[in-house]
Structure 1
Amino acid sequence: MHPADPRPPSTSGLVIGLLGPVVGTRDGKALDLGPPLQQAVAAMLATWPGRVVTLPQLIAGLWGETAPNSSQQSVYTYIAGLRRAFEPGRGRRQPPRTVTKAPGGYLLRLDPLAIDAHLFSARLESASKARTAGDLSAALRALDEALALWRGPALSGVPGPFAEGERARLDELHLTAVEARAEVLTLLGRPEDALAPLRELARRHPLRERPHELLMLALHACGRQAEALRAFEEARRVLAEELGADPGDGLRHAHRLVLSASGDDPPAAPARREPASVRSRGEGGRSPSHRAPGEDDVQPPSGRADRAGGGVEPAGRHVPRQLPRDPAAFVGRAREIVRLKSLLDPWGGEPPHPFVVICGPPGVGKSTLAVHVAHAVRDRFPDGRLYVNLRGGTPNVPRPSAYEVLCRLLRGLGTPGAAIPADEDEAAALLRSTLHGRRLLVLLDDAADHAQVRPFAALPPGTAVLVTSRESLAAGDGCAQVRLGPMSDAEATAMLAKYAGADRVSADLKQTGRLVRLCDGFPLALRIAGARLADRPDWSVAALTERLSDERRRLRELEAGDLAVRSSLAASWSALSGSTRETDAAAARLLALLGLLHVPDVTVEAAAALSGDPEPEVERALERLCDAHLLEAGEPGRYHPHDLVRLFAAELPPPGGRTAPLLRVLGFYAESARAAARTSDPHRVHCLYPPIDATGRTFCDAAEADDWLGREEATLLAAAYQAMADPDDGVARAGAAIGLALWWYQQKNYRVTDLVATGERLVATGERLRDEVIEMHGYAHMATGRYFLNDIACLAHNERHLALARRLGDRFEEQRAHGNLAATLLRWERFEESLDHALGQRAIAREIGSDVGERYALLAAARAYVELGRVEEAVGVLDEGAAMAERAGDVHSATEFAVWRGRVMIALGRCEAALGLLTGVLERGRILSRTTEMGCLVYLARAHRMLGQIDEAVRRGVEAVAMAERAGSTYWLEEAKAERALAIAARAAMTTR
């Protein structure tokens, strides 16, 4: 480590992570940092440890200018929650020591280097100093250590203005570090290792010139002049098309450098600083790239040159070459290969990392990658390469014990069987003695658990152990773990091309993309799919894709010879279900239950409802499934299986049957969605039908409720749709309850397609169950969605809603249907009929005492009056409705009344007053409703135009068009385009005068 490089803090005490989801650990144990807004407070305090963060700063960082009235109390609650999390053992009367009160605010008393964002900055500073001092190897190490701290997007899932700004700052630092690392690699003479990350940077940030420049220089250093010039042309094209700009100085300099290279000979790469161990080997060795595949299976005679290392093998020393053949069809995994090579073949002459693990789910390609990397680094291990298959994922085959593995390794090193001690500890000691002073690689493939490889975690320096396992072994002492996930689409496509032929794969790229997604990016599935295509030359890619599209047969189709995705997954599940450990058995049971629920992901709460077990036990089972790579952990507390694992889990028999667990979890979703909807907007009348006998979660305030709905929306919809299609009537009713609970959330957030789809399913479910209440609400959903789509079919749906409400004698729904008809008829310019329905709604609303219904009726009536030219009546109705909304504290209705009052003021020629009113409510409208925001923008553009403020009119018009396009609103898009066109025409007229 570079002398100026600060050491990371020890694992004891409090550690906070911001470079990914916001997490905390104390004494190595994970802490629950609470809901997202509480995590945001933790992030603010951790960004400035030891400094006072004032209460106004916290409020502004969480909510900006839209802080609720309860903001101060919420901050106090979040601070109390963090104190409990950071100091779980603190007594009630003990003062807090970590988050303490200070004049005007709070401060976090913590060493900055216990916070990964500060440690990251320190590593970058060390890298900069090392590079300035000319020590490029130290600079690379510091950059690798800095980048290894990242676990995903910074402050992932944390809301608020502060998080948004800090996320942007940290992401920019991350990009700079990745660029710096690529530049150092090129300067060290390793440009080929810089290519993959640079290509990815250039793809993700096409307008950022530095990655293009470094990519050109790396290609130039590799002797790939033509590719470097093509990279320049691509960068120039993108900059011209997107920005109308020419390449900057850096890109132009790189271009001149490439052009100045001699025509036929590749340019000399910067001098590579070889480790001392490589420099001492002499000149006799061949490059691994020139070596025939499978050469590691050949044992050279004693005393002859060792081709793997280029050195001379001492007479009589046994040099094992046990690696399997390097896969001929290996593609992708560039990032993981770079990481593994940096561990096994580090620069600067250091010894290799002693214990490296590749972990990941079944079928993800761990063994193939391990063998490929082992071949790539074998020059570093001239004393041999040993290989043992530990059979951790092979069903019905006994696994070798640690002692058996020791015996195999010793025999591989030339130790006679009779000389191997019968005692495991003595055999381990003999192995260490035999390996002393040697440079040797041991590949232990498919380890079942840490116990199977524990004796090999502390072999003598110079020897490296590379392990693959379906289990996470990160808890092992001195373990450097590389987690392998599914392949990217590009890598997966390249792998299919290797097996099935590039022509077939490229003939229909759309179907190839579908096939890649159906295989979930898993190399085993892709290999089988490629083999099946190669076996069936008459099949197109589309033919296989069609067969795999049927979820009921996908796992059966992914079989070829002795390769099968199902058996690979079954081996992992069987290892858990057959285990004597309680947590393993619980994890196996939970996976079978999760197979019942077809949702994107689950939380601990939902999984606990599904299983009926306490949350702590369920969380342990979920984490165990993650360790076994049968589940993926997303943001804290969320878990999801890959698609192929989900299909496998759906085949498992659920313990105790299917109906009871489904009703428990669906009831939890329904009651939680209802509670969130009521908390988010207490001034709406929310549908609580059908009744559900379940308990959901509760919410402190609207912000927490909205955040939960936003995170759970996809899961709630998937659960509702699955349940409503279920043959069990009780399950179908629970699904309808979830769909009905989302009514206002979908409207407010302009989820047009979801409104229609949910409504169609509700109507079908109501008809099947002969439940006219569900059917009636379904028509209301469909009507609203079709209204947003500017589809006249919404009129018939509203009329059906009204007819069912009358037949059921539901006066509240009757007045609601009148209100929706009033709004619909306004859209199609049937203003007199609209006014009749609005006044009809008001009469019923007054009769039943529904203030919210009366407010909606007043708004619809005012809009009809405006269109009928009865502007003064509109003003009176709007003033009356606004006063009612203010008295009720109904911010949503008050904002809508304000927007329409602004429009009426414009019609009356009071544009200055309208401008002030509309400007004042715009930000509130952005938060409350997309339709309100779009209307406000259109009327602001109109007011600016009529006041002669043409540039502002154009700006607001452009903003309104963009907003309507994003929302997919046909009506508001037409309105916005018309207003933008008038503003642009007015500007043109001014310039021609």
Structure 2
Amino acid sequence: MAEGVIVRLLGPVTAARDGKEIDLGPPRRQALTAILAAWPGRVVPIPRIIDGIWGDDPPKTAEQSVYTYVAGLRNALEPSRGRREPSKLVVGAAGGYRLRLDGSRVDAIAFTERLDHARRAVLRGDHAGALPDLEEALALWHGEALPGVPGPFAESERARLTEARLAAQEYRAEALLGLDRPQDALAPLRAMTYRHPLRERPRELLMLALVRCGRRAEALVVYEESRRLLREELGVDPGEALRRSHRLALAAGPRERPGDGPPPLPRQLPRDLAGFVGRTQEVIRLKGLLAPWDDTEPNPLVVISGPPGVGKSALAVRIGNLVKDRYPDGQLYVNLRGATVGLPGLDPLDVLGRFLRAFGIDGDAIPGDVDEAAALWRSTLSGRRTLILLDDAAGLGQILPLLPAPRGTAIVVTSRETLAAGDDCVQLHLPRLSLPESVTVLAKLAGAERMAADPEETAGLVRLCDGLPLALRIAGARLADRPAWSVSALTGRLRDERRRLHELEAGELAVRASLASSWSALAGSARPIDRVAARALGLLGLLHLHDVTAEVAAALLGTGADEAERALERLVDAHLLEHLAGPGRYQLHDLVRLFAAEMAPGDAAGPLARALSFYIASARLAVTTMDPHRVQAEGPEVDAVPHAVGGPDEAIAWLAGEETNLVAAAGQAMAGPDSGLAALGVALCFSLFWYQQYAHEPVPLIALNRRALDVCERLGDRLGAYHAHGHVACGLALQGKAEAMGHLEAQLILARELGDRFSEQRTLGNLANLSVERGLHEQALGYAGRQLALARRIGADVGVRYALMMRGLACQKLGRPAEARGPLEEALAAAESIGDTGHEMNMRRILGELCLDEGKPGEAADHLERALAASRAHRNRLGELECLVLLSRARRELGDAHAALPHIAEAMPLAAELENAKWRIETENEQRIVHELVGVPTVRV
């Protein structure tokens, strides 16, 4: 390729070589250049060239003309080329021509690539990353694309490139706005709206830029001009994006109203909170509902719901003060006391009486019947534009008589409950504050300098406060009252979970009290399901889990799953529990979890035993379904209905989804003083062994079983200690640590002391396997022989298969393939006859390596393909890695290194993830060999 040549299509079609301009000749030769440059390096068939230059009606001499244009183009691009010398740039091939030029040397392609890169950056919010690409892309333009070039191709390409240029200009303006540089965006946007008056996106961006520059009136003028143009020219109204910009412009400042009446009364809204922070999106949405940009009627009912302390009331008061000018006939406010501890909530008749008196109706004239009072209320509001804020509603029943409001009136309700109030209700769930918003709350109360001095501790403080405005205000107030405290001093106190709720108290503000009011409302409710939900919250505080399901809650409650699910959903409605992304999963936020622990019943053993029993039964069933031929550790019988799984894939998926909770529950039980619960914790730990081994998770496997070993030794459970030693040894072996041998030797002693011949032969097999891993192959043969003899004596078929496999493996490693094949094939036949796919996959993997040693790569590949499929079905990740590496070797020994490449490419990231030292080295060595054979640079993952 001629690296010195460039082709320009973004403006007059030109070319240059080493900075010197090239005359490309007449327009149709330019059209040919544009067509070839649009697909550099690719053959463009002559029929496509003809169609691109002349379209549906080409002259009879079109093909001959193409040859003429090609010859002229070759002479223009390569003036020094000899007469008989073939062209290096415009090459004839396969019924067409190709331009041997890198795409980066064609400005239109370079522009498109930069635009695509910038577009992706803008979509992910990286405006700083997008702007340089956009600037470079637009700088490539030198006028209209392909001017004066004839033909359908030039016409369509001109339109495509022009649209792409406009998109780039719009993305540039969007990036400037995202970088808070609206002033820089104004001039280009004004030019775009002038040149493309009916294009809505530039007008939308221009309005946003004007608003951000404080030129709200100009933004509204732009909208009115846009609306008029679209109506006159196209007969349509502005699109949603342009209307949204209009609403933002309206919301940017107070509306001018003629002073033709008395001030609106009553005006009961509380003062706006001076330290209000964030909630930008929520404020915009609420303003759109309560003060529509087009002066249409507001939404009659808006509910702001969320957990205790999330700032529902503060947001409602903020939005009420922002839109009150739209309600000249009054703004009413009442605290319904739905969650005020020690005080009864206001009843609807009391609320109606307060509001009617506010409009001057004499108390004696207010009916004592709630329905009659509600009718008078609606009559009083009729024809008025009134805003009503009902703060802290206990539920729908407390506000129902005030609904519906007459047209023109809006009712805003805050509640800890999820309210469903009909078609006219819009409900806004208020989430916790983001990290930046939370830090701003703390900075306003305690000083920005203190927050900036230790950003890591500040972020930790936000996490400990759960992003709840109430908790953040308390934390900020405590820091403000104690100027000598650093942020880390307070976070240190809050990290102690036993005192966190106590620390989050300041004056009358307390997170505990806020949560207690919600819990008390449920516990004291007349509805049975509310009382079950209150009890469920306390029981959830017993288990320190990431999340729970209805089945776990049912075990804690001692009820059916349906009733437990209703109770959990009731807690969700009360915003004391949250749905997770996965189906049927629920989570307590940290502060609620700490409060729930305080509400837990004194006798925790019974509920915890039921929950642990459910987990044990479910894990045992899932592991048995995953691989029914693996021997599970003996343990206590449990009386629980397990989670049902439909097959191996479903079983593995359940174990993967619940593993974090299973490990946490087992660890919690084993750490406690109750010996019965500790024993259940050990049983749960043991039930996870095969899943954790297959998934190659040595760290949690070792940690959990070391704890189980301590418990078993404390309880005098020698059989449990036997299993714990073996599991720890397995985890250490996966890490390649010699310490594993000591645990297996201790396990062998325990098996003999217990007189357990099955466990004894099993340990001998594991000692054989570990000996192979350590390179002690003769020692491995000894252990395998002893296991085989003992397993045959007691009739342990699984032990016989394993011993034969170990004997074959040791012989293969000793370089005695003839002695290895017999035991391996005997063990494979036995495994296949009984359907033990776990043993089958291991033996096929070993046989595959044996075949490679014997120079039989084809036979090896067959074994390894089947072993790979089985390893993946069992989620045996180390087995999968070994098969991939060995398959790569088999493919290259078959003479096809390219076929080996996908296997080793898949193996490399898996080897890095599993962190198995031996197989990482094997994988890297195989990659180096394969890459050298195919000429690909070696890559470390």
TM-score (norm. length: structure 2): 0.73
> Which residue of 419, 433, 456 corresponds with 1:487?
433
Among 224, 227, 232, the residue aligned to 2:131: 232
In structure 2, how many angstroms separate the alpha carbons of the residues matched to 1:675 and 1:264? 64
Deviations 1:760-780 (A, max 9, x none): 110111121111122221122
User: What residue in structure 2 maps to residue 947 of structure 1?
Assistant: 894
CA-based RMSD: 3.2
Given that 1:762 and 1:777 are in contact with CA atoms closer than 8 Å, whether structure 2 keeps it comes out as no
Residues 486-565 of structure 1 mapped to structure 2, 5 A cutoff: 486-565=432-511
Q: Residues 131 and 172 of structure 2 are in contact (CA less than 8 Å); yes or no, is this contact kept in structure 1?
A: no
Whole-angstrom CA distance in 2 between matches of 1:547 and 1:373: 36
- The one-letter code of the counterpart of 1:673 is A
Q: Does 1:253 align with 2:161?
A: no
What's the CA shift for 1:869?
A: 0.7
Which of 757, 764, 771 aligns to 1:825? It is 771
Aligned counterpart for 1:853 among listed residues 796, 799, 809: 799
Say if 2:121 and 2:127, in contact at 8 Å, map to a contact too. Answer: no
Deviations 1:788-842 (A, max 9, x none): 2222222222222222222222222222222222222222212221222222222
Task: Give the Cα separation in 2 of the matches to 1:367 and 1:729.
Answer: 48
- C-alpha distance in structure 2 between counterparts of 1:939 and 1:464, whole Å: 72
The verdict on how the C-alpha distance between 1:434 and 1:879 changes in structure 2, with shifts beyond 3 A counting, is same
Q: How does 1:701-740 map to 2 (within 5 A)?
A: 701-740=647-686
Matches within 5 A, 1:625-664: 625-634=571-580, 635-654=582-601, 657-664=603-610
Q: Give the corresponding residue for 2:709.
A: 763
The 2-side partners of 1:951 and 1:236 are apart by 42
Counterpart amino acid of residue 932 in structure 2: A
Please list, as runs of the form range in 1=range in 2, the aligned pairs for 1:130-529 lying within 5 A after superposition: 209-210=118-119, 212-213=121-122, 232-233=131-132, 252-254=168-170, 269-270=206-207, 309-312=255-258, 315=261, 318-417=264-363, 419-474=365-420, 476=422, 478-529=424-475
Q: Indicate conservation of the 8 Å contact 1:318/1:413, yes or no.
A: no
Shift, 1:984, TM fit: 2.4
Query: Secondary structure of the equivalent of 2:725?
Result: helix
Distance in 2, matches of 1:735 and 1:663, equals: 9
The whole-number CA distance in structure 2 between the counterparts of 1:990 and 1:325 is 68
Aligned to 1:961: 908
Label 1:340 to 1:975 Cα distance change in 2 as closer, same or farther (>3 A). farther
**Correspondence for 1:573 among 519, 524, 530:** 519
Q: 2:118, 2:131 within 8 Å by CA — same for their partners in 1?
A: no
CA distance in 2: counterparts of 1:497 and 1:926, whole angstroms: 52
Q: Distance in 2 between matches of 1:923 and 1:641?
A: 40
Q: Secondary structure at the match of 2:775?
A: coil
Matches of 1:968 and 1:370 in 2, distance apart? Answer: 53
Aligned pair partner of 1:592 in 538, 544, 559 = 538
- Secondary structure of the corresponding residue to residue 388 of structure 1: strand
2:844 pairs with 1:911: no
Maintained 8 Å contact 1:356/1:481 = yes
> Residues 416-473 of structure 1, C-alpha deviation per residue, up to 9 Å, x if partnerless?
5455444333332232223223333211111111111112331011211111111111
C-alpha change, 1:477 and 1:228, in structure 2 (3 Å) is: closer
Measured in 1, the distance between the counterparts of 2:133 and 2:705 equals 47
Matching residue of 2:743:
797
1:595: Cα distance to partner? 1.9
The match for 2:80 is: none
CA distance in 1, matches of 2:844, 2:123: 54
> Does 1:874 find its partner at 2:820?
yes
1:746 is matched with: 692
Unmatched segments (≥5 aa) in structure 1: 1-205, 217-226, 238-247, 277-284, 291-307
Query: Residue 816 of structure 1 aligns to a residue in which SS?
Result: helix
Instruction: For 1:845 and 1:873, locate their aligned partners in 2 and report how far apart those are by CA, in whole Å.
Output: 21
Residue 261 to residue 736, structure 1, CA distance change in 2 (3 Å)? closer
Query: Mapping of 1:914-925 within 5 angstroms?
Result: 914-925=860-871
Number of aligned residues: 740
Q: SS where residue 413 of structure 2 aligns?
A: strand
Is contact 2:119–2:130 with CA below 8 Å preserved after alignment? no
Aligned partner (choices 669, 677, 689) of residue 635 of structure 2: 689
Other structure's SS at 1:445 match: strand
Matched to 2:386, the amino acid is L
Match of 2:97 in 1: none
CA positional deviation for 1:910: 1.5
* Counterpart for residue 27 of structure 1: none
Give the match for residue 896 of structure 1.
Answer: 842
Aligned partners of 1:913, 1:413: CA distance in 2, in Å?
Answer: 94
Residues 251 and 971 (structure 1), Cα distance of their counterparts in 2 relative to 1, 3 Å cut: farther
- After superposition, the Cα gap between the structure-2 partners of 1:653 and 1:602, relative to the gap in structure 1 and judged at 3 Å, is closer
Equivalent of residue 878 in structure 2, options 931, 945, 970:
931
Q: Which amino acid aligns with 1:501?
A: G
Summarize the Cα distance change of 1:982–1:578 in structure 2 as closer, same or farther, 3 Å threshold.
same
Equivalence map 1:967-978=2 (5 Å) = 967-978=914-925
Secondary structure, counterpart of 1:602 in structure 2: coil
For 1:381-405, what per-residue CA distance to the aligned partner results, in whole angstroms no more than 9, with x for missing partners?
A: 3444322111111101232221222
CA contact (8 A) 1:673 1:709 kept: yes
Work out whether residues 432 and 459 of structure 1, in 8 Å CA contact, stay in contact via their aligned partners in 2. Answer: yes
Task: Work out whether residues 417 and 575 of structure 2, in 8 Å CA contact, stay in contact via their aligned partners in 1.
Answer: yes
Query: Which residue is 2:752 aligned to?
Result: 806
Q: Which residue of 1 aligns with 2:558?
A: 612
Post-superposition CA distance 1:169-219 (Å, at most 9, x none): xxxxxxxxxxxxxxxxxxxxxxxxxxxxxxxxxxxxx99854644799xxx
Q: Deviations over 1:903-931 (max 9, x none)?
A: 12221222233234323443332231101
The verdict on how the C-alpha distance between 1:719 and 1:311 changes in structure 2, with shifts beyond 3 A counting, is same
Tell me, in whole angstroms, the C-alpha distance in 2 between the residues paired with 1:379 and 1:949: 79
Alpha carbons of structure 1 residues 784 and 990: separation in structure 2 relative to 1, 3 Å: closer
TM score, norm. by length of structure 1: 0.69
Distance 1:870 1:984, change over 3 A: same
- Counterpart CA distance in 1 for 2:135 and 2:919 is 37
Are the aligned partners of 2:121 and 2:129 in contact in 1 as well (CA < 8 Å)? Answer: no
SS at structure 1 position matched to 2:478 = helix
- 1:559: how far off? 1.3
**1:39-58 map, 5 Å:** none
Based on CA coordinates, which of the two structures has the bigger radius of gyration?
Answer: 2
Q: CA deviation at 1:963?
A: 0.8
| Preserved CA contact (<8 Å) 2:840 2:867 | no
